[in-house]
């Protein structure tokens, strides 16, 4: 079996996945939207004028990468339990040196529950 090349290796690298995710304008918009206050998917979709399915997909990706979390649940007028999301990161720094990027994530200080480590 041959050794994987650098592109194949980077597909499984969390740093690479986070950088790729943050390069997407929609992902950044959703993350900025939930930085200072918790919001549900409908609020985010209405605010950003994007489809609810795009918001759910983006939030799922952000949760998978530990960049966002469910901050709390609220009960709707219909009695449904609704997730409210919050950004876990407040600042991102990406430094490029040689072939390997260095990613520094800083906790969202407006989110007292966040305990993200860089």
pLDDT tens across 84-111, in order? Answer: 999 999 999 988 887 778 889 999 987 5
Give percent above pLDDT 70 in the chain. 83
Residue 95 lies in a domain: no
**Residue pLDDT, tens place only, 60-85:** 999 999 999 999 999 988 999 999 99
**Residue pLDDT, tens place only, 39-59:** 999 999 999 999 999 999 999
> Which stretches of the chain are assigned E, i.e. beta strand?
68-75, 81-87, 89-97, 100-107
Confidence of residue 116 (pLDDT cuts 50, 70, 90): very low
Evaluate whether 18 touches 65 at the Cβ level (below 8 Å).
yes
The Cα-based distances of 50 to 37, 45, 58, 97, 103 in angstroms read: 19, 5, 11, 35, 28
Q: What is the pLDDT of residue 118?
A: 39
Evaluate whether 55 touches 68 at the Cβ level (below 8 Å).
no
User: Total structural domains in the chain?
Assistant: 1
Residue 105 lies in a domain: no
Q: What is the pLDDT of residue 109?
A: 87
Kindly tell me the burial class for residue 17, based on how many C-beta atoms sit within 10 Å of its own C-beta (0-12, 13-18, 19 or more).
middle
Residue 102 lies in a domain: no
Instruction: Report the candidate in 27, 109, 104, 95 with the shortest Cα–Cα distance to residue 64.
Output: 27
Residue 107 lies in a domain: no
pTM over 0.85: no
Q: What is the pLDDT of residue 102?
A: 84
β-pairing, 81-87 with 89-97? unpaired
Residue 101 lies in a domain: no
Domain that holds residue 52: 6-88
CATH at 51: 1.10.10.10
């Amino acid at each position: 079996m041959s050794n994987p090349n650098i592109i194949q290796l980077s597909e499984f690298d969390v740093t690479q996945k986070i950088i790729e995710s943050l390069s997407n304008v929609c992902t950044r918009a959703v993350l900025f939207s939930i930085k200072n206050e918790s919001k549900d998917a409908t609020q985010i979709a209405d605010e950003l004028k994007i489809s609810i399915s795009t918001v759910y997909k983006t939030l799922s990706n952000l949760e998978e990468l530990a960049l966002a979390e469910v901050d709390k649940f609220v009960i709707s007028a219909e009695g449904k339990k609704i997730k409210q999301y919050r950004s876990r990161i407040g600042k991102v720094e990406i430094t490029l040196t040689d072939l390997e990027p260095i990613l520094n994530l800083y906790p969202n200080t407006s989110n007292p529950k966040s305990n993200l480590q860089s």
